[in-house]
Amino acid sequence: DAGVIQSPRHEVTEMGQEVTLRCKPISGHDYLFWYRQTMMRGLELLIYFNNNVPIDDSGMPEDRFSAKMPNASFSTLKIQPSEPRDSAVYFCASSFPSGGPLVDEQFFGPGTRLTVL
Amino acid sequence: AQSVSQHNHHVILSEAASLELGCNYSYGGTVNLFWYVQYPGQHLQLLLKYFSGDPLVKGIKGFEAEFIKSKFSFNLRKPSVQWSDTAEYFCAVKPNTGTASKLTFGTGTRLQVTL
């Protein structure tokens, strides 16, 4: 399996522009998580989905952020408009907790390093 | 809600030294516990996990962690570190609800191993 795939790996944009980050979870995983990592705040959960349905979006910082999961193999995190303080590494992770006791391990993608100028 | 504390923010060790990184959590019920490692420029990888049973858990690359329920702790240990262990280490906790729920991560400990 290729693991969790994220694109792009690096994104540099200007303040005010729309940014879309993409994630393909591991096939068969039914949970998908979006995290943001910064030096100041560490690793924060933004939102997670189960079977394509958002379960908890309490970590989404504000209305400029939105996330969708139109099908089991694809999710997007969109920032519109972007601001310099959104600069961070955004990780996507997936897990398959229905597989018995040794479950609930989250597999992380390589991340997207976002720089907003 | 659960929380995780990692008191060591930056640790510097010489090769072959022993390592212990502290992790304490706060939650009133049963938990699942994890240690993840992030090598420079890479994504998080699972080192080891505790779900139930033997509180001493062995992971990859010679790491182990001990769950001490009475102390709400899950410290990570390695008898002899190598230069390649230089990385950031994250402790994480989630309630053991039988379904997925969000992992709560600590702020991380940056380990620097010198030659």
CB neighbours of A80 closer than 8 A, spacing ≥ 6? A18, A19, A64, A66
With an 8 Å Cβ cutoff, are B49 and A110 in contact?
no
The b/e string for B88-100 (b: 16+ C-beta within 10 A; e otherwise) is bbbbbbbbbeeeb
**Residue B43 binned pLDDT confidence (cut-offs 50, 70, 90):** confident
- Nearest chain B Cα distance for residue A82, angstroms: 24
With an 8 Å Cβ cutoff, are B51 and A33 in contact?
no
Output the pLDDT for position B27: 87
Closest in A101, A104, A108 to B100, CB measured: A104
What percentage of chain A carries pLDDT values higher than 90?
71
With an 8 Å Cβ cutoff, are A110 and B43 in contact?
yes
Distances (CA, A) of B25 to A30, B64, B73, B103, B109: 27, 18, 6, 12, 15
Torsion-angle region of residue A67: left (phi > 0), alpha (psi -120 to 50) or beta?
beta
CB atoms < 10 A from the CB of A61, how many? 13
In B, minimum Cα distance to A48 occurs at: B102
CB atoms < 10 A from the CB of B115, how many? 6
**Residue B65 binned pLDDT confidence (cut-offs 50, 70, 90):** very high
Judged against a pLDDT cut of 90, whether residue B101 lies above it is answered with: no
Sign of CA dihedral B13, B26, B67, B38: negative
With an 8 Å Cβ cutoff, are A56 and B102 in contact?
yes
Half-sphere exposure of A102 (CA within 13 A, CB side): 1
Judged against a pLDDT cut of 70, whether residue B98 lies above it is answered with: no
Strands (E), chain B: 3-5, 10-14, 19-21, 24-26, 31-38, 44-50, 56-58, 64-68, 73-78, 87-95, 104-105, 109-114
DSSP reduced 3-state for A85: helix
Distances (CA, A) of A116 to A92, B34, B66: 19, 32, 41
Write out chain B residues lying below 8 Å of A31, CB-based: 100
Output the pLDDT for position B2: 78
In B, minimum Cα distance to A31 occurs at: B100
Cα R_g (chain B), whole angstroms:
14
With an 8 Å Cβ cutoff, are A56 and B52 in contact?
no
Q: Give me chain B's average pLDDT, please.
A: 91
